[in-house]
Homo-oligomer: A and B are copies of this chain.
Amino acid sequence: MTAIHTARDPRFPALGVAVDVVVFTVRDGQLEVLLTRRPDEEPFPGAWSLPGGFVRPDESADDAAARELAEKAGVEDVFLEQLYTFSAPDRDPRSRVVAVAYYALVSADKAALGARADGRTRAPQWFRVQAESEEHAQAFLPGQPPVTLAFDHDEILRTAVQRIRGKLEYVPIGFQLLPPHFTLTELQSVYEAVLGHPVDKRNFRSKIQKSGLVRESDAVKKGPHRPAKLFEFTQRTF
């Protein structure tokens, strides 16, 4: 039990533990991810990267991820779940950093607030996610080529997209991406954005209704066309 709090103990080499958070939202039928710009210094000067930071001595990685999410995206109490831990010795060229990656699902209305709530650092920005095949996922801004992310963040993003696609089919995470009241068409649009392909309207609606996860509210959403019934979730638990 001697001197374990110095960097010389072989069990405690100089090593940091960071969290990186893949924050997803769906806006206008498109899956989007929140990215931050790195400072103009090595490594990856000015590159886009996932929001993240070091885990503090008194917090768990879960806490750190929630804190990062609040700081960078300005949202709290959203769906946040551990994704995977990335630990290649050279994933950070400066020194050893192990990254515990998380993914979060944020409704577009909350997300809009978050993206401009940051004052100290450069504002994070929403990028669209392009993921036709299962093996690739890239972030891009409309009309521009995909960006290459810093560190191994492209791999983390890819892993996160695979995860939410797989999870969407058997756990009700689609609801996390919508405001409290929503139309079934909006919910379907979220599913299509996450899955990356269209789904059948009638099958989708009957399956959702049969699941008992949503309840019809008495309000309707008016627009230039036929009004749509607004629904709400029957359970508010994660």
Instruction: Show the binding face of A for B, using Cβ within 8 Å.
Output: 1, 4-7, 9-17, 42, 54-55, 57-62, 82, 84-85, 87-89, 94-96, 98, 100
B11–A54 contact, CB under 8 A? yes
Collect the chain B residues with CB atoms within 8 Å of residue A12's CB. Answer: 7, 14-16, 54, 95
Q: How many monomers of this protein are in the complex?
A: 2
Give the chain B neighbours of A84 by CB distance below 8 A.
Answer: 82
- Residue numbers in B under 8 Å from A5 (CB-CB): 7, 14, 95
- Classify the interface of chain A: helix, strand, loop or mixed: loop
> In the complex, are the beta carbons of B17 and A98 less than 8 A apart?
yes
Known: A4-B94, A55-B87. 9 other contacts (CB 8 A): A4-B95, A7-B7, A9-B14, A11-B16, A17-B87, A57-B89, A60-B89, A61-B87, A61-B98
Closest A-B pairs by Cβ, 9 of them:
A61-B87, A7-B7, A5-B14, A11-B54, A85-B85, A60-B87, A13-B57, A12-B16, A85-B100
